Each structure stands twice: as C-alpha cells, then as structure tokens.
Amino acid sequence: MTETAVGGGELKRVIGRRVLLLFVVGDILGAGIYALVGKVAGEVGGAIWLPFLISFLLATLTATAYAELVGKYPRAAGAALYANRAFGIPFVTFLVAFAVMMSGITSASAAARAFGGKYLAEFVTLPTVVGALGFLALVTVVNFVGISESIKVNVVLTIIEGLGLVVIMVIGVAALVSGDGDPGRALEFHASDGAFLGILGGTALAFYALLGFEDSVNLAEEAKDPSRDFPRALFGGLTITVLIYLAVAFTATMLVPTDVLEKSTGPLLEVVKAAGLSFPPKLFALIALLAVGNTALINMIMASRLVYGMAREGIVPPVLGTVHPRRATPWVAILFTVAIAVVLVCTGDVGGLADTTVLLLLLVFALVNVCVLVLRRESVEHDHYRAPTWTPAAGSIVCLLLATPLTGRDVEVYLRAGILLAVGVLLWFLTRLVRPAGGR
C-alpha cells in the first residue's frame, strides 16, 4: 500500500492527548461488558472480576507492542502495516488485515445477538434472531447514510453507554452501604472444570470486553504527538476501563446469583432489577441497547472501510470498492460485510461469536508482538516509547496460549474462524486470477 493517502495528501495532526484518551476509553467500552458478564460468571462460578483483571494484565503486554510500533511508525493501518514492514510478504499482510476485518464483523454479530435478547424483550417479544437481523438492518442504514452522520451517532452512543455503567457502579456503592447483596460471592469459585481452567476460559471471554484498544492505532496519523501521547493514552485508557469493569463485575456478583447471570442474555438488567436503589429497568434496557448498538456500528464501519480499502488497492475484487454516487459510502463493501454478519447471526450465539472475535484478534496480536521484536533491526530518527523486551515476548506466548483449546473454546469457534479466513484466501486468489496482466 502507498505511504500517503490517495492524491498525495496527508491527514491533519489535530488530536491531542486528552481526546486520544477519550477515544481509547470509548473504543473499549461497549457490548462486551453489557453482554458477557453472565457468560464469564458461568466459567468461574462467582469471582467474575478476576478474569477481567487477568485480561487487563494480559492485554497490557500486547499494548506495549502497539505503543512502541505506533511511536515508531505513526501512520494509520495498524497491524497490517507492522506485518508488512516486518516480513514484506503481501499475502501475510493481507491475511492480517482480513482477520482484523472479520473480527469486526463477528464482534458486530455478537452485539446483534445481544441486542435481540433480554434487553429488547423489555419492550417487545421477538425471537432473538429476528431482533438481531432487524438491528443489523438499522446499523446498515446508518452506515450507508454517511460517515459524518455515523460518527455523530457514535459520539452520542459512547456517552450513553458510559452512563449505563455509571448507573451500575452507583447501584453497587448503594448496595454496600445498605448491606444488600452478598459480597462474599466475589471470592467464590465453582468452575466445573476446576479453578485454573475456569479462570482461563473466563479470561478468554473477558478479553472480548477489552478489545478495541488496537483500533486506536488508526488515529496515529492524526495525533499531534503520537510518539509521546499515544502510549500514555493507551495505558491510561486501559486502566480507566478495567477499573470500571471491575466495579461492574463486583456489583453483578454481589447482587445477582451466578446461575441467574449465566442464563440471562441481559445480565446487567438483572443487576438493576435486583438493586435496592430504584432505577427504571426499561430505561436501563434502552441504555444497554444503545451501548450494544454502538459496538456494532463501530465494527461495521471499520469492516466495510477495510474491505473498500483492500478493493481500491487491488487486493480483493475491485467491485467491492464501488462508492455510492450520492451518499459517497462504499455500498458494495457494506452489503458484503452485512451479508457475512447475517450468516453469523443465524448460526452462532453471543458467547460463540464473541469467542470467535477474540480468537481472530489473538492470532493478530501474537503476530504484532513478534513484529515489534523483528522491527528492532530498524531505527528511526525520532524518540519513541520502547517496550521492555520481555513484554512482547510474553505477549506473543500468552496470546497463543489463549488461542488454544485449553480455554475450553468450542470446536465450532475454530471452524467458524477457519471458514472466515478461507473466504479471504478465496478472494485473494480470485483477484489474482481476474486481475489484468500488469495491474497492481
């Protein structure tokens, strides 16, 4: 891919450290905590907060690699750029970009399934798949209308989803003061496969709630001082987010029995209903629906633009780069990504789709951690953050460990991820076959 934008222009460096920090926090917060608290509870049987804490520690290892690479190469493109610079193999670069794109679609599909569950049932009773497909249609319309409108919607929804988590934390404080709930449950383990495997499986799921920090690297080209500001915003954003998650997870454990959380498709709604502090359940359900919607919108925007970009570079069939003449949006890429999402929604559940997202990104993260070590052979003129050598080394090992079946991940998750990557390989070779001789 070219080093500059099409037409030779460059993006303006206008994003300061505070805005970057808010973006990182907003990018991580989302459907994960609203939808997966119950699934994590099912893995560990009580101490939900522990998998979230371990996920934070493990994510921080990979974050050090991203912090160094962004400071060293402050350009948009993220993992695909680093793989290209480290190995220079176009097919590997493509697979990395395609895996990131597919992780966005599986994440949006998980959010859609969460949308069609108990949160929606507070207003209307529909089969989960029907609610999820209707939701995907709405997200597609917003995505098609235009990027400016989509970003405005995203900002509003980010604020709303944050307020929803504040409500849960206030409920937790009120419960502690009044003596309601059972704080002792936060120290219990009732994992069916034993504490170690239970925590490992819970951590693999909780990892989904911390994903998003890697998306922020795409703002590197628009940050005022990415070499200095990005590491601080990245680590600060991860820290703020995990503190919120720990408070929410502790509150959920304290107020709602584990078996109720595990079976619910709207676990935080169960917390609101069990609270001594009165808060309208329908209002919280609406907040949760908007939070889930925000996650899906962000991921579908990202996925469709990645497909569009690859089509414009001649990496996948050029038809996927078609832009609507009036809306100026990549409508064919949008339809392509939503078609995959529809299939995923109809064939998977929230936990399985979230786990597929994690699996795809764990493989990408493992490669990024290797890239930072390989690229130590290159030096740059400006100062930048340098990760301790052991952190990316440990990060690659941890990511590969979490990607193994030891976590209790279902076989269908590996099958789904393999099929999605196979679609990319098919597109790659199809493009090679139909591309004219001498073409890019």
State residue 440's pLDDT score: 47
Mean pLDDT across 334-346: 93
State residue 192's pLDDT score: 63
Residue 417 pLDDT greater than 90, yes or no: yes
Q: What is the residue-wise DSSP string for 114-154?
A: HHTTHHHHTT----HHHHHHHHHHHHHHHHHH-HHHHHHHH
State residue 356's pLDDT score: 93
Nearest-CA neighbor of 210 among 235, 185, 230, 232?
235
pLDDT tens digits along 212-235: 777 777 666 666 777 788 888 889
Which residues, listed in sequence order, are joined to residue 223 by a DSSP beta bridge? 15
Angle between helix axes 226-255 and 147-178 (nearest 10 degrees) is 50
pLDDT tens digits along 306-327: 788 777 777 778 888 888 887 7
Dihedral angle over CA of 419, 147, 362, 253, nearest 10: -110
Q: What is the residue-wise DSSP string for 353-395?
A: HHHHHHHHHHHHHHHHHHHHHHGGG---SS------THHHHHH
Q: In angstroms, rounded to a whole number, what is the distance separating the alpha carbons of residues 403 and 190?
A: 23
Which residues, listed in sequence order, are joined to residue 15 by a DSSP beta bridge? 223
35 falls in which pLDDT band (50, 70, 90)?
confident
Place of tokens 């393999």: 418
CA atoms within 13 A on the CB side of 55: 31
Q: In angstroms, rounded to a whole number, what is the distance separating the alpha carbons of residues 320 and 323?
A: 9
Q: Which fold has domain 17-378+388-433?
A: Amino acid/polyamine transporter I (1.20.1740)
Phi, psi for residue 223 in degrees, rounded to 5: -85, 145
| Range of lowest pLDDT (97-101, 178-182, 280-284) | 178-182
Q: In angstroms, rounded to a whole number, what is the distance separating the alpha carbons of residues 123 and 374?
A: 53
Nearest-CA neighbor of 168 among 296, 288, 24, 41?
288
Question: Would you state the structure tokens that stand for residue 220, as one six-digit string?
Answer: 């590197």
Report the percentage of the chain scoring pLDDT > 90.
Answer: 25
Return the higher-pLDDT residue of 16 and 439: 16
Phi, psi for residue 371 in degrees, rounded to 5: -55, -40
Q: Which H or E run contains 409?
A: none
Q: What is the residue-wise DSSP string for 230-268?
A: HHHHHHHHHHHHHHHHHHHHHHHHHHS-HHHHHH-SSHH
Q: In angstroms, rounded to a whole number, what is the distance separating the alpha carbons of residues 77 and 85?
A: 12
Q: What is the residue-wise DSSP string for 77-115?
A: TTHHHHHHHHH--HHHHHHHHHHHHHHHHHHHHHHHHHH
Cβ 55 vs Cβ 214: under 8 Å: no
- Please, what is the Cα angle at 348 between 347 and 354, to 5 degrees? 150
Cβ 112 vs Cβ 128: under 8 Å: no
Q: How many other C-beta atoms can be found within 10 angstroms of the C-beta atom of residue 160? A: 17
CA 252 from centre of chain: 22
| Range of lowest pLDDT (218-222, 344-348, 397-401) | 218-222
Return the higher-pLDDT residue of 157 and 345: 345
Cβ 118 vs Cβ 279: under 8 Å: no
Residue type, 344: L
What one-character DSSP code corresponds to residue 436?
Answer: P
Report the percentage of the chain scoring pLDDT > 70.
Answer: 89
**How far from 385 is each of 48, 181, 288, 435, 439, CA to CA, in Å?**
33, 45, 37, 41, 39
B/e letters for 182-213, b = 16+ CB within 10 Å, e = fewer, are ebebbeeeebeeeeeebbbbbbbbbbbbbbbb
Q: In angstroms, rounded to a whole number, what is the distance separating the alpha carbons of residues 46 and 59?
A: 22
Q: Using DSSP, state whether 15 is helix, strand or coil.
A: strand
CA 384 from centre of chain: 26
Mean pLDDT across 277-295: 84
Q: Using DSSP, state whether 223 is helix, strand or coil.
A: strand
Q: Which H or E run contains 336?
A: helix 331-347
